Amino acid sequence: MRYAVLADIHGNLEALQTALEYTQKHSLSHCIILGDSVGYGANPNECLEWSLKNAEFYVIGNHEAAVIHPDLRLGLIEWARIAIEWTAERLWPEHVKKIKELPYLQIHKQVTLAHGTIHSPERFDYLFDLSAAHKSFMALGTTVGFVGHSHVPCFFSEKEGTGGCLKEGILKLRRNERYLLNPGSIGQPRDRDHRLSFGIFDDSELTFEIVRLPYDNKRASEKILAAGLPASLAYRLL
């Protein structure tokens, strides 16, 4: 079975719609959401509604958590805090109710899902290096772990003790190896490539593909400015 693996949509409807055009064209009907469908972007309700209705699996991200737990906003930098407060004021009540039901960790067959790390999903730490990867491998009870949060597509392999950024293309997974995989960000990539990023996981062929697509980032940026959100959130999309 093939899964579209999406993370960090961050209210960017233009990017999400472009990704969905691709998944529909390639008959990808199964979807995993690794959190942060909201925050930063100007269309939180639209992006969250799609995620809640269409994701087969959906783990909570730090931005969803900050919507329902205001104390978590204290740890955010100013422009992120402003964005999440703006978002929280505008989310539909039924969406807030459903956010409260999202888990920090999900396990399906040989796959584990979390937003930040496998070993401490409720802390929303970043999985950037081999040290953090080692801790998550120790907690991982499955063959593959998917995480988001860093907005950078990357991989870590346990036995080989290697890891790094992933470029556009297909990574072949070995059957006797365990992996931590990050699909990058739909709505706000942070690897100096402004194209949206998501993953395709094939659990039969054991492959993980990174897809990069251009989208109307100018329109997404303009909508952020028009909404009165911090200008830095708009300019980082360009």
Of 96, 105, 108, 109, nearest to 136 (Cα)?
Answer: 105
Cβ within 8 Å of residue 174, ≥6 positions away? 157, 206
Which amino acid is located at 18 in the chain? T
Query: Using one digit for the tens of pLDDT, what is the confidence trace for 95-113?
Result: 999 999 999 999 999 999 9
Task: Reduce the DSSP state of residue 131 to 3 states and report it.
Answer: helix
The verdict on pTM exceeding 0.95 is: yes
Report pLDDT for 68. Answer: 97
CA atoms of 122 and 59, how far apart (whole Å)? 11
The encoded tokens of residue 111 equal 């796959």
Look at residue 75 and tell me whether its pLDDT is greater than 90: no
What ranges in the chain are assigned the alpha helix state H? 13-25, 44-54, 62-68, 78-90, 93-99, 130-139, 217-226, 231-235
Q: Are 67 and 97 in contact (CB under 8 A)?
A: no
For residue 217, what pLDDT band results from cuts at 50, 70 and 90? Answer: very high
Query: Using one digit for the tens of pLDDT, what is the confidence trace for 218-238?
Result: 999 999 999 999 999 999 999
Stretch 58-84: mean pLDDT? 95
The CATH number of residue 81's host domain is: 3.60.21.10
Look at residue 150 and tell me whether its pLDDT is greater than 90: yes
Report pLDDT for 18. Answer: 99
Look at residue 124 and tell me whether its pLDDT is greater than 90: yes
Cβ within 8 Å of residue 176, ≥6 positions away? 159
Query: Using one digit for the tens of pLDDT, what is the confidence trace for 24-69?
Result: 999 999 999 999 999 999 999 999 999 999 999 999 999 999 999 9
Q: How is the beta sheet containing 144-146 ordered, strand by strand?
A: 105-108, 111-114, 144-146, 179-182, 154-157, 162-165
Task: Reduce the DSSP state of residue 53 to 3 states and report it.
Answer: helix
Please give the mean pLDDT across all residues of the chain: 98
Look up the domain containing 231 and give its range.
2-235
What percentage of the chain reaches a pLDDT higher than 70? 100
Number of domains, the chain: 1
Query: Using one digit for the tens of pLDDT, what is the confidence trace for 129-144?
Result: 999 999 999 999 999 9
| Number of H-type helices and E-type strands within the chain | 8, 12
